[in-house]
Structure 1
Amino acid sequence: MKYSWIEVTQEEHVAMVALNRTNHLNALSFDFAKEINDVFTELGKTDEVWVIILKSNARIFCSGLDLKDALSQGLIGNTKQMLNFPILAHNLFACCNVIEECKKPVIAAVHGMCVGGGLDIISACDFRLCTQDATFSLREARLGIVADMGSLQRLPYIIGQASTRHMAYTGRFFTAQEAERMGLVLSVHADQEALIAAAKKLAEEIKESAPLAVQNTKEILNFSRTASIQDGITLSTHKNMLLLKSRDCTESMTAFMEKRKPVYRGE
Protein backbone atom coordinates (compact mmCIF):
# COMPACT_ATOMS: atom_id res chain seq x y z
CA MET A 1 0.00 0.00 0.00
CA LYS A 2 1.21 3.50 -0.86
CA TYR A 3 1.25 6.26 1.75
CA SER A 4 1.71 10.00 1.39
CA TRP A 5 3.95 10.57 4.42
CA ILE A 6 5.26 7.15 5.40
CA GLU A 7 7.70 4.82 3.67
CA VAL A 8 7.48 1.10 4.46
CA THR A 9 10.01 -1.50 3.42
CA GLN A 10 10.27 -5.13 4.43
CA GLU A 11 13.21 -7.52 4.45
CA GLU A 12 13.70 -10.87 6.17
CA HIS A 13 10.73 -10.48 8.53
CA VAL A 14 11.69 -6.92 9.59
CA ALA A 15 9.55 -3.95 8.50
CA MET A 16 11.20 -0.52 8.37
CA VAL A 17 8.66 2.27 8.88
CA ALA A 18 10.03 5.73 8.05
CA LEU A 19 8.08 8.85 9.01
CA ASN A 20 8.40 10.94 5.87
CA ARG A 21 6.51 14.21 6.39
CA THR A 22 9.89 15.85 6.10
CA ASN A 23 8.78 19.36 5.07
CA HIS A 24 6.88 19.62 8.36
CA LEU A 25 9.48 17.84 10.51
CA ASN A 26 6.99 15.01 10.97
CA ALA A 27 4.55 17.25 12.84
CA LEU A 28 1.44 15.21 13.59
CA SER A 29 -1.48 16.31 11.46
CA PHE A 30 -4.78 14.48 11.54
CA ASP A 31 -4.12 12.84 8.16
CA PHE A 32 -0.55 11.90 9.09
CA ALA A 33 -1.81 10.27 12.29
CA LYS A 34 -4.35 8.30 10.26
CA GLU A 35 -1.55 6.95 8.06
CA ILE A 36 0.36 5.84 11.17
CA ASN A 37 -2.80 4.02 12.29
CA ASP A 38 -3.20 2.37 8.90
CA VAL A 39 0.45 1.30 8.65
CA PHE A 40 0.66 -0.35 12.06
CA THR A 41 -2.75 -1.95 11.71
CA GLU A 42 -1.66 -3.50 8.42
CA LEU A 43 1.75 -4.62 9.72
CA GLY A 44 0.10 -6.15 12.77
CA LYS A 45 -1.88 -8.41 10.42
CA THR A 46 1.06 -9.27 8.13
CA ASP A 47 2.38 -12.71 9.06
CA GLU A 48 5.68 -12.15 7.23
CA VAL A 49 6.54 -9.25 9.58
CA TRP A 50 7.98 -10.28 12.95
CA VAL A 51 9.64 -7.03 14.10
CA ILE A 52 9.10 -3.36 13.20
CA ILE A 53 11.65 -0.54 13.28
CA LEU A 54 10.25 3.00 13.39
CA LYS A 55 12.51 5.82 12.23
CA SER A 56 12.37 9.30 10.70
CA ASN A 57 13.45 10.56 7.28
CA ALA A 58 13.33 14.17 8.49
CA ARG A 59 16.26 15.98 10.11
CA ILE A 60 14.59 15.33 13.47
CA PHE A 61 12.34 12.55 14.69
CA CYS A 62 9.12 14.51 15.33
CA SER A 63 8.26 18.13 16.15
CA GLY A 64 5.02 17.27 17.93
CA LEU A 65 1.46 18.24 17.09
CA ASP A 66 0.89 20.17 13.87
CA LEU A 67 -0.70 23.28 15.40
CA LYS A 68 -1.46 24.80 11.98
CA ASP A 69 -3.43 21.71 11.08
CA ALA A 70 -5.31 21.84 14.38
CA LEU A 71 -6.13 25.50 13.76
CA SER A 72 -7.34 24.73 10.25
CA GLN A 73 -9.75 22.20 11.74
CA GLY A 74 -11.27 25.00 13.82
CA LEU A 75 -10.47 23.19 17.04
CA ILE A 76 -8.39 25.72 18.94
CA GLY A 77 -10.39 28.53 20.50
CA ASN A 78 -13.75 27.11 19.41
CA THR A 79 -15.61 25.80 22.43
CA LYS A 80 -18.24 23.90 20.47
CA GLN A 81 -15.63 22.20 18.31
CA MET A 82 -13.44 21.45 21.33
CA LEU A 83 -16.27 19.48 22.91
CA ASN A 84 -16.08 17.21 19.87
CA PHE A 85 -12.28 17.07 19.99
CA PRO A 86 -12.01 13.42 21.13
CA ILE A 87 -14.10 12.41 18.10
CA LEU A 88 -12.58 14.75 15.52
CA ALA A 89 -9.03 13.99 16.66
CA HIS A 90 -9.57 10.27 17.06
CA ASN A 91 -6.60 9.34 14.88
CA LEU A 92 -4.21 11.45 16.98
CA PHE A 93 -5.01 9.40 20.04
CA ALA A 94 -5.33 6.11 18.18
CA CYS A 95 -1.95 6.36 16.43
CA CYS A 96 -0.17 5.70 19.74
CA ASN A 97 -2.61 3.03 20.86
CA VAL A 98 -2.29 1.10 17.62
CA ILE A 99 1.51 0.96 18.01
CA GLU A 100 1.22 -0.32 21.56
CA GLU A 101 -1.46 -2.84 20.57
CA CYS A 102 0.38 -4.02 17.44
CA LYS A 103 1.27 -7.68 17.95
CA LYS A 104 4.79 -7.17 16.63
CA PRO A 105 7.61 -5.67 18.75
CA VAL A 106 8.31 -2.07 17.70
CA ILE A 107 11.77 -0.50 17.99
CA ALA A 108 11.90 3.31 17.83
CA ALA A 109 15.14 4.70 16.36
CA VAL A 110 15.26 8.37 17.34
CA HIS A 111 17.56 11.12 16.08
CA GLY A 112 17.32 14.85 16.66
CA MET A 113 14.39 16.36 18.56
CA CYS A 114 11.51 14.21 19.75
CA VAL A 115 8.84 16.59 21.03
CA GLY A 116 5.35 16.23 22.51
CA GLY A 117 3.41 13.87 20.27
CA GLY A 118 6.68 12.32 19.14
CA LEU A 119 7.38 11.31 22.73
CA ASP A 120 3.85 9.92 22.93
CA ILE A 121 4.60 7.76 19.89
CA ILE A 122 7.90 6.36 21.12
CA SER A 123 6.50 5.69 24.58
CA ALA A 124 4.04 3.32 22.87
CA CYS A 125 6.94 1.39 21.33
CA ASP A 126 8.58 -1.62 22.94
CA PHE A 127 12.12 -0.26 22.71
CA ARG A 128 13.78 3.09 22.10
CA LEU A 129 17.31 3.73 20.80
CA CYS A 130 18.72 7.14 19.93
CA THR A 131 21.65 9.13 18.56
CA GLN A 132 23.91 11.34 20.65
CA ASP A 133 22.18 14.45 19.31
CA ALA A 134 18.69 13.26 20.27
CA THR A 135 16.67 15.36 22.71
CA PHE A 136 13.31 14.62 24.30
CA SER A 137 10.66 17.01 25.56
CA LEU A 138 7.23 16.42 27.05
CA ARG A 139 6.33 19.92 25.98
CA GLU A 140 2.63 20.34 26.73
CA ALA A 141 2.90 22.14 30.10
CA ARG A 142 4.86 24.93 28.41
CA LEU A 143 1.94 25.36 26.02
CA GLY A 144 -0.60 25.60 28.82
CA ILE A 145 -2.09 22.13 28.33
CA VAL A 146 -1.51 18.57 29.51
CA ALA A 147 -0.21 15.64 27.45
CA ASP A 148 -3.24 13.66 26.32
CA MET A 149 -1.94 11.05 23.86
CA GLY A 150 -0.73 8.52 26.42
CA SER A 151 2.75 9.57 27.55
CA LEU A 152 1.56 10.45 31.08
CA GLN A 153 0.09 6.97 31.33
CA ARG A 154 2.89 5.02 29.64
CA LEU A 155 6.06 6.77 30.76
CA PRO A 156 5.72 5.89 34.48
CA TYR A 157 6.00 2.22 33.49
CA ILE A 158 9.13 2.99 31.46
CA ILE A 159 11.05 5.58 33.48
CA GLY A 160 9.17 5.71 36.79
CA GLN A 161 7.04 8.37 38.43
CA ALA A 162 9.83 10.75 39.42
CA SER A 163 11.39 11.00 35.97
CA THR A 164 7.97 11.26 34.31
CA ARG A 165 7.03 14.15 36.59
CA HIS A 166 10.39 15.78 35.94
CA MET A 167 9.77 15.68 32.20
CA ALA A 168 6.10 16.66 32.43
CA TYR A 169 6.38 19.52 34.93
CA THR A 170 9.43 21.22 33.43
CA GLY A 171 8.70 20.66 29.73
CA ARG A 172 12.41 21.09 29.06
CA PHE A 173 14.56 19.16 26.62
CA PHE A 174 16.38 16.15 28.03
CA THR A 175 19.60 14.99 26.41
CA ALA A 176 20.27 11.51 25.06
CA GLN A 177 22.50 10.81 28.04
CA GLU A 178 19.78 11.85 30.48
CA ALA A 179 17.26 9.71 28.59
CA GLU A 180 19.58 6.72 28.83
CA ARG A 181 20.13 7.22 32.57
CA MET A 182 16.41 7.35 33.28
CA GLY A 183 15.77 4.26 31.13
CA LEU A 184 13.85 5.96 28.34
CA VAL A 185 16.31 4.61 25.74
CA LEU A 186 18.23 1.35 25.74
CA SER A 187 21.35 2.79 24.16
CA VAL A 188 22.86 5.92 22.57
CA HIS A 189 24.72 5.84 19.23
CA ALA A 190 27.13 8.13 17.45
CA ASP A 191 25.07 8.86 14.35
CA GLN A 192 22.06 7.71 12.32
CA GLU A 193 23.99 4.98 10.55
CA ALA A 194 25.09 3.45 13.84
CA LEU A 195 21.57 3.90 15.22
CA ILE A 196 19.90 1.97 12.42
CA ALA A 197 22.58 -0.72 12.61
CA ALA A 198 21.86 -1.13 16.33
CA ALA A 199 18.09 -1.25 15.71
CA LYS A 200 18.59 -3.95 13.07
CA LYS A 201 20.84 -5.91 15.42
CA LEU A 202 18.16 -5.81 18.12
CA ALA A 203 15.58 -6.93 15.58
CA GLU A 204 17.81 -9.87 14.63
CA GLU A 205 18.13 -10.83 18.30
CA ILE A 206 14.33 -10.81 18.67
CA LYS A 207 14.04 -12.98 15.55
CA GLU A 208 16.04 -15.68 17.34
CA SER A 209 12.88 -16.31 19.38
CA ALA A 210 9.70 -17.90 18.06
CA PRO A 211 7.55 -15.05 16.65
CA LEU A 212 4.25 -16.31 18.04
CA ALA A 213 5.83 -16.60 21.49
CA VAL A 214 7.17 -13.04 21.24
CA GLN A 215 3.82 -11.66 20.07
CA ASN A 216 1.90 -13.33 22.85
CA THR A 217 4.52 -12.26 25.41
CA LYS A 218 3.95 -8.66 24.32
CA GLU A 219 0.20 -9.07 24.79
CA ILE A 220 0.70 -10.53 28.27
CA LEU A 221 3.11 -7.76 29.30
CA ASN A 222 0.66 -5.07 28.14
CA PHE A 223 -2.23 -6.80 29.89
CA SER A 224 -0.31 -7.34 33.12
CA ARG A 225 0.37 -3.63 33.69
CA THR A 226 -3.18 -3.15 34.94
CA ALA A 227 -4.12 -6.73 35.86
CA SER A 228 -3.48 -8.69 39.03
CA ILE A 229 -0.53 -11.07 39.10
CA GLN A 230 -2.93 -14.02 39.17
CA ASP A 231 -4.88 -12.74 36.16
CA GLY A 232 -1.60 -12.28 34.29
CA ILE A 233 -0.53 -15.83 35.11
CA THR A 234 -3.91 -17.15 34.02
CA LEU A 235 -3.60 -15.43 30.64
CA SER A 236 -0.05 -16.80 30.27
CA THR A 237 -1.30 -20.33 30.99
CA HIS A 238 -4.04 -20.03 28.40
CA LYS A 239 -1.55 -18.77 25.82
CA ASN A 240 0.77 -21.72 26.47
CA MET A 241 -2.11 -24.17 26.06
CA LEU A 242 -2.22 -22.97 22.45
CA LEU A 243 1.48 -22.32 21.86
CA LEU A 244 2.44 -25.85 22.96
CA LYS A 245 0.55 -27.05 19.88
CA SER A 246 2.34 -24.68 17.48
CA ARG A 247 4.78 -25.87 14.84
CA ASP A 248 7.42 -23.52 16.20
CA CYS A 249 7.20 -25.07 19.67
CA THR A 250 7.59 -28.53 18.16
CA GLU A 251 10.52 -27.24 16.10
CA SER A 252 12.23 -25.83 19.18
CA MET A 253 11.98 -29.17 20.99
CA THR A 254 13.20 -31.08 17.94
CA ALA A 255 16.10 -28.68 17.40
CA PHE A 256 17.11 -29.06 21.04
CA MET A 257 17.16 -32.83 20.77
CA GLU A 258 19.12 -32.65 17.50
CA LYS A 259 21.51 -30.05 18.95
CA ARG A 260 20.89 -27.51 16.19
CA LYS A 261 19.47 -24.02 15.83
CA PRO A 262 15.67 -23.96 15.41
CA VAL A 263 14.16 -22.62 12.21
CA TYR A 264 10.99 -20.74 13.10
CA ARG A 265 8.15 -20.06 10.69
CA GLY A 266 5.67 -18.19 12.83
CA GLU A 267 3.24 -21.10 12.79
Structure 2
Amino acid sequence: MNTNYETILFEVENEIATITVNRPKALNALSHQVHSEINALLKEFMEANKDFTIAKGMILTGAEEKAFIAGADIKEMTLMSADEAEAFARLGQDNTLLFELLNIPVIACVNGYALGGGCEMAMSCDFIFATKTAVFGQPEVKLGLIPGFGGTQRLSKLVGRNRAKEITYSGRNVAIEEAKEIGLVVSVFESKEEMIEAAKVYLSKAMRNSPHAIYEAKRVMNEGNDLTITDGLNVEAKAFGAIFNSADMREGTAAFVEKRKPVFIGK
Protein backbone atom coordinates (compact mmCIF):
# COMPACT_ATOMS: atom_id res chain seq x y z
CA MET A 1 0.00 0.00 0.00
CA ASN A 2 1.01 3.58 -0.62
CA THR A 3 1.83 5.31 2.66
CA ASN A 4 3.52 8.38 1.18
CA TYR A 5 1.06 11.20 1.85
CA GLU A 6 1.64 14.86 2.66
CA THR A 7 -1.25 15.58 5.03
CA ILE A 8 -1.95 12.25 6.70
CA LEU A 9 0.11 9.54 8.36
CA PHE A 10 -0.67 5.85 8.13
CA GLU A 11 0.87 3.03 10.11
CA VAL A 12 0.00 -0.49 11.16
CA GLU A 13 1.21 -2.11 14.35
CA ASN A 14 -0.01 -5.40 15.82
CA GLU A 15 -2.83 -5.53 13.26
CA ILE A 16 -4.11 -2.08 14.29
CA ALA A 17 -4.04 0.64 11.62
CA THR A 18 -3.76 4.29 12.61
CA ILE A 19 -4.66 7.25 10.41
CA THR A 20 -3.42 10.60 11.72
CA VAL A 21 -4.48 13.86 10.12
CA ASN A 22 -1.16 15.68 10.10
CA ARG A 23 -1.62 19.44 9.69
CA PRO A 24 -0.95 20.61 13.25
CA LYS A 25 -0.15 24.21 12.22
CA ALA A 26 -3.66 24.40 10.72
CA LEU A 27 -5.16 22.48 13.68
CA ASN A 28 -5.50 19.51 11.31
CA ALA A 29 -8.15 21.31 9.25
CA LEU A 30 -9.73 19.35 6.41
CA SER A 31 -8.50 20.75 3.12
CA HIS A 32 -9.33 19.27 -0.26
CA GLN A 33 -5.92 17.60 -0.19
CA VAL A 34 -6.58 15.99 3.19
CA HIS A 35 -9.89 14.60 2.01
CA SER A 36 -8.37 13.41 -1.27
CA GLU A 37 -5.55 11.62 0.51
CA ILE A 38 -7.90 9.99 3.04
CA ASN A 39 -10.13 8.92 0.17
CA ALA A 40 -7.26 7.33 -1.76
CA LEU A 41 -5.92 5.60 1.35
CA LEU A 42 -9.26 4.17 2.46
CA LYS A 43 -10.13 2.84 -1.00
CA GLU A 44 -6.73 1.15 -1.33
CA PHE A 45 -6.97 -0.18 2.22
CA MET A 46 -10.44 -1.63 1.65
CA GLU A 47 -9.25 -3.50 -1.40
CA ALA A 48 -6.07 -4.79 0.26
CA ASN A 49 -7.73 -5.74 3.57
CA LYS A 50 -10.60 -7.87 2.27
CA ASP A 51 -9.25 -10.93 4.12
CA PHE A 52 -8.07 -8.93 7.15
CA THR A 53 -4.46 -9.42 6.05
CA ILE A 54 -3.39 -5.86 6.96
CA ALA A 55 -5.40 -4.90 10.04
CA LYS A 56 -8.35 -5.94 12.17
CA GLY A 57 -8.95 -2.57 13.80
CA MET A 58 -8.34 1.12 13.10
CA ILE A 59 -7.81 4.38 14.98
CA LEU A 60 -8.48 7.83 13.50
CA THR A 61 -6.79 10.73 15.30
CA GLY A 62 -5.15 14.11 14.81
CA ALA A 63 -1.51 15.17 15.14
CA GLU A 64 -0.29 16.78 18.36
CA GLU A 65 -2.46 18.00 21.24
CA LYS A 66 -4.55 21.04 20.25
CA ALA A 67 -6.96 19.46 17.83
CA PHE A 68 -8.35 16.21 16.52
CA ILE A 69 -9.65 18.05 13.46
CA ALA A 70 -10.65 21.67 14.07
CA GLY A 71 -12.97 21.69 11.05
CA ALA A 72 -12.80 22.27 7.32
CA ASP A 73 -10.19 24.60 5.84
CA ILE A 74 -12.16 27.86 5.81
CA LYS A 75 -9.51 29.84 3.92
CA GLU A 76 -9.68 27.32 1.10
CA MET A 77 -13.47 27.29 1.16
CA THR A 78 -13.79 31.06 0.68
CA LEU A 79 -12.42 30.61 -2.84
CA MET A 80 -14.89 27.90 -3.87
CA SER A 81 -17.79 28.31 -6.26
CA ALA A 82 -21.13 26.69 -5.43
CA ASP A 83 -20.31 23.72 -7.69
CA GLU A 84 -16.86 23.34 -6.16
CA ALA A 85 -18.35 23.48 -2.67
CA GLU A 86 -20.85 20.74 -3.49
CA ALA A 87 -18.05 18.56 -4.90
CA PHE A 88 -16.03 19.22 -1.72
CA ALA A 89 -19.00 18.20 0.44
CA ARG A 90 -19.51 15.03 -1.57
CA LEU A 91 -15.82 14.12 -1.22
CA GLY A 92 -16.01 14.56 2.56
CA GLN A 93 -19.25 12.60 2.71
CA ASP A 94 -17.66 9.82 0.67
CA ASN A 95 -14.90 9.55 3.27
CA THR A 96 -17.40 9.29 6.11
CA LEU A 97 -19.20 6.52 4.24
CA LEU A 98 -15.92 4.71 3.62
CA PHE A 99 -15.20 4.64 7.37
CA GLU A 100 -18.63 3.10 7.88
CA LEU A 101 -18.04 0.55 5.11
CA LEU A 102 -14.66 -0.64 6.40
CA ASN A 103 -14.74 -4.29 7.42
CA ILE A 104 -13.05 -3.52 10.75
CA PRO A 105 -14.01 -1.45 13.82
CA VAL A 106 -12.82 2.17 13.75
CA ILE A 107 -12.35 4.26 16.89
CA ALA A 108 -12.08 8.05 16.67
CA CYS A 109 -9.58 9.20 19.29
CA VAL A 110 -10.39 12.86 19.88
CA ASN A 111 -8.15 15.32 21.65
CA GLY A 112 -8.81 19.06 21.59
CA TYR A 113 -11.09 20.52 18.95
CA ALA A 114 -13.44 18.33 16.93
CA LEU A 115 -15.56 21.03 15.35
CA GLY A 116 -17.49 21.08 12.10
CA GLY A 117 -15.86 18.59 9.76
CA GLY A 118 -13.87 17.20 12.68
CA CYS A 119 -17.03 16.30 14.57
CA GLU A 120 -18.46 14.84 11.37
CA MET A 121 -15.41 12.66 10.75
CA ALA A 122 -15.47 11.42 14.34
CA MET A 123 -19.16 10.53 14.10
CA SER A 124 -18.53 8.39 11.02
CA CYS A 125 -16.32 6.08 13.09
CA ASP A 126 -17.88 3.22 15.06
CA PHE A 127 -17.55 5.16 18.31
CA ILE A 128 -15.53 7.93 19.94
CA PHE A 129 -12.94 7.96 22.70
CA ALA A 130 -11.94 11.44 23.90
CA THR A 131 -9.70 13.26 26.33
CA LYS A 132 -10.92 15.78 28.91
CA THR A 133 -9.75 18.57 26.60
CA ALA A 134 -12.00 17.47 23.73
CA VAL A 135 -14.53 19.98 22.41
CA PHE A 136 -17.24 19.06 19.90
CA GLY A 137 -19.67 21.09 17.86
CA GLN A 138 -21.19 22.03 14.51
CA PRO A 139 -20.48 25.80 14.37
CA GLU A 140 -21.09 26.20 10.63
CA VAL A 141 -24.08 28.55 11.03
CA LYS A 142 -21.74 31.12 12.59
CA LEU A 143 -20.09 31.34 9.17
CA GLY A 144 -23.31 31.34 7.19
CA LEU A 145 -22.85 27.65 6.37
CA ILE A 146 -24.41 24.32 7.26
CA PRO A 147 -22.64 21.05 8.06
CA GLY A 148 -21.59 19.44 4.80
CA PHE A 149 -19.87 16.16 5.68
CA GLY A 150 -22.84 14.39 7.23
CA GLY A 151 -23.41 16.43 10.38
CA THR A 152 -27.07 17.19 9.66
CA GLN A 153 -27.72 13.46 9.40
CA ARG A 154 -25.45 11.64 11.85
CA LEU A 155 -25.72 13.98 14.83
CA SER A 156 -29.49 13.46 14.96
CA LYS A 157 -29.03 9.70 14.89
CA LEU A 158 -26.49 9.81 17.70
CA VAL A 159 -28.02 12.29 20.14
CA GLY A 160 -31.62 12.69 18.96
CA ARG A 161 -33.18 15.12 16.50
CA ASN A 162 -34.11 17.93 18.90
CA ARG A 163 -30.77 17.94 20.71
CA ALA A 164 -28.96 17.90 17.35
CA LYS A 165 -31.02 20.85 16.13
CA GLU A 166 -30.30 22.82 19.31
CA ILE A 167 -26.56 22.21 18.98
CA THR A 168 -26.51 23.00 15.25
CA TYR A 169 -28.71 26.12 15.35
CA SER A 170 -26.69 27.64 18.20
CA GLY A 171 -23.32 26.66 16.75
CA ARG A 172 -22.15 26.28 20.33
CA ASN A 173 -19.31 24.15 21.62
CA VAL A 174 -20.13 20.89 23.39
CA ALA A 175 -17.73 20.27 26.26
CA ILE A 176 -16.59 16.76 27.09
CA GLU A 177 -18.94 16.34 30.07
CA GLU A 178 -22.00 16.98 27.92
CA ALA A 179 -20.61 14.94 25.01
CA LYS A 180 -20.34 11.95 27.33
CA GLU A 181 -23.76 12.57 28.88
CA ILE A 182 -25.61 12.69 25.54
CA GLY A 183 -23.87 9.59 24.17
CA LEU A 184 -21.65 11.27 21.60
CA VAL A 185 -18.54 9.99 23.40
CA VAL A 186 -18.15 6.48 24.82
CA SER A 187 -15.12 6.90 27.13
CA VAL A 188 -13.10 9.84 28.50
CA PHE A 189 -9.39 9.83 29.35
CA GLU A 190 -6.92 12.12 31.09
CA SER A 191 -4.41 12.31 28.23
CA LYS A 192 -4.01 11.54 24.57
CA GLU A 193 -1.46 8.85 25.33
CA GLU A 194 -3.84 7.11 27.74
CA MET A 195 -6.66 7.36 25.19
CA ILE A 196 -4.63 5.89 22.31
CA GLU A 197 -3.40 3.06 24.52
CA ALA A 198 -6.95 2.31 25.67
CA ALA A 199 -8.13 2.21 22.05
CA LYS A 200 -5.37 -0.24 21.20
CA VAL A 201 -6.23 -2.42 24.19
CA TYR A 202 -9.90 -2.42 23.21
CA LEU A 203 -9.15 -3.33 19.60
CA SER A 204 -6.68 -6.02 20.65
CA LYS A 205 -9.36 -7.64 22.79
CA ALA A 206 -11.95 -7.32 20.04
CA MET A 207 -9.54 -9.01 17.61
CA ARG A 208 -9.78 -12.22 19.65
CA ASN A 209 -13.32 -12.52 18.31
CA SER A 210 -14.31 -13.39 14.76
CA PRO A 211 -13.38 -10.51 12.43
CA HIS A 212 -16.00 -11.74 10.00
CA ALA A 213 -18.71 -11.65 12.69
CA ILE A 214 -17.65 -8.16 13.81
CA TYR A 215 -17.87 -6.94 10.23
CA GLU A 216 -21.31 -8.45 9.77
CA ALA A 217 -22.53 -6.93 13.04
CA LYS A 218 -21.17 -3.53 11.95
CA ARG A 219 -22.77 -3.83 8.53
CA VAL A 220 -26.16 -4.85 9.88
CA MET A 221 -26.21 -2.13 12.56
CA ASN A 222 -25.23 0.58 10.09
CA GLU A 223 -27.75 -0.60 7.51
CA GLY A 224 -30.52 -0.97 10.06
CA ASN A 225 -29.97 2.54 11.38
CA ASP A 226 -31.95 3.96 8.44
CA LEU A 227 -34.70 1.33 8.43
CA THR A 228 -37.88 0.67 10.36
CA ILE A 229 -37.53 -1.87 13.18
CA THR A 230 -39.34 -4.47 11.06
CA ASP A 231 -37.05 -3.98 8.06
CA GLY A 232 -34.01 -3.87 10.30
CA LEU A 233 -34.95 -7.16 11.94
CA ASN A 234 -35.31 -8.67 8.50
CA VAL A 235 -31.77 -7.59 7.60
CA GLU A 236 -30.53 -9.04 10.88
CA ALA A 237 -32.27 -12.39 10.36
CA LYS A 238 -30.86 -12.78 6.86
CA ALA A 239 -27.35 -11.99 8.07
CA PHE A 240 -27.75 -14.35 11.03
CA GLY A 241 -28.70 -17.16 8.70
CA ALA A 242 -25.95 -16.41 6.18
CA ILE A 243 -23.25 -16.41 8.84
CA PHE A 244 -23.98 -20.09 9.50
CA ASN A 245 -22.15 -20.74 6.22
CA SER A 246 -18.97 -19.12 7.55
CA ALA A 247 -15.85 -20.94 8.71
CA ASP A 248 -15.62 -18.65 11.73
CA MET A 249 -19.09 -19.67 12.92
CA ARG A 250 -18.21 -23.35 12.64
CA GLU A 251 -14.93 -22.80 14.46
CA GLY A 252 -16.42 -20.61 17.18
CA THR A 253 -19.27 -22.93 18.07
CA ALA A 254 -17.04 -26.00 17.89
CA ALA A 255 -14.48 -24.38 20.17
CA PHE A 256 -17.20 -23.52 22.69
CA VAL A 257 -18.47 -27.13 22.77
CA GLU A 258 -14.92 -28.48 22.99
CA LYS A 259 -13.98 -25.94 25.71
CA ARG A 260 -11.00 -24.49 23.84
CA LYS A 261 -10.03 -21.13 22.39
CA PRO A 262 -11.25 -20.60 18.83
CA VAL A 263 -8.87 -19.88 15.96
CA PHE A 264 -10.71 -17.54 13.63
CA ILE A 265 -9.67 -16.91 10.03
CA GLY A 266 -12.03 -14.09 9.13
CA LYS A 267 -14.19 -16.06 6.70
Structures share a fold, TM > 0.5? yes
The structural deviation recorded for 1:88 is 5.3
The structure 1 residue matched to 2:62, chosen from 56, 66, 69, is 56
- The counterpart of 1:5, out of the listed 7, 12, 20, is 7
Question: 1:15 matched to which residue of 2?
Answer: 17
Query: 1:78 — aligned with what?
Result: none
* Deviation (angstroms), 1:257: 1.7
The residue aligned with 1:234 is 234
Give me the whole-angstrom Cα distance separating, in 2, the residues matched to 1:205 and 1:164: 33
Q: Note the 1:210-249 alignment, pairs <5 A.
A: 210-249=210-249
Distance in 1 separating the partners of 2:41 and 2:83: 29
Asked if the contact 1:30/1:89 (under 8 Å) is kept, the reply is no
Provide the aligned C-alpha RMSD in A: 1.7
Secondary structure, counterpart of 1:16 in structure 2: strand
Correspondences of 1:8-157 after superposition (within 5 Å):
8-45=10-47, 46=49, 47-48=52-53, 49-59=55-65, 60-71=67-78, 74-75=79-80, 81-87=81-87, 89-157=89-157
Question: Is the contact between residue 39 and residue 95 of structure 2 (CA under 8 Å) also seen in structure 1?
Answer: yes
Letter in 1 for 2:18: M
**Residue deviations 1:178-207 (CA, integer Å, cap 9, x gap):** 111111101110001111111112212322
- Render the CA deviation track for 1:10-63: whole Å, top value 9, x for unaligned: 123221111112222111111110111122223333122221111111331111
Greater alpha carbon shift after TM alignment, 237-246 vs 162-171: 237-246
- Please state whether the residue corresponding to 1:147 is helix, strand or coil: coil
1:104 counterpart SS class: coil
In the TM superposition, residue 84 of structure 1 has moved relative to its aligned partner by: 4.9
SS at match of 1:209: coil
Is there any run of 5+ residues in structure 1 with no aligned partner, and where?
A: 76-80
Question: What is the CA–CA distance in structure 2 between the aligned matches of 1:11 and 1:244, rounded to whole Å?
Answer: 31
- In structure 2, how many angstroms separate the alpha carbons of the residues matched to 1:53 and 1:99? 11
Aligned length: 260
TM superposition score normalised by structure 2: 0.91
* Paired residue secondary structure (1:8): strand
Q: Which runs of 5+ in 2 are unaligned?
A: none
Decide whether the 8 Å contact of 1:155 with 1:164 is kept in 2.
Answer: yes
SS of corresponding position for 1:61: strand
Give 1:89 shift.
4.8
String of CA shifts for 1:58-100, please: whole Å, max 9, x gaps: 33111111122223xx31xxxxx31453235532232222212
Q: Which amino acid aligns with 2:64?
A: A
TM-score normalised over the length of structure 1: 0.91
8 Å CA contact 1:44, 1:104 repeated in 2: no
CA contact (8 A) 1:128 1:186 kept: yes
Compared CA separation, residues 88 and 196, structure 1 to 2 (3 A): closer
Provide the rounded CA distance (Å) in 2 between the counterparts of 1:11 and 1:247: 26
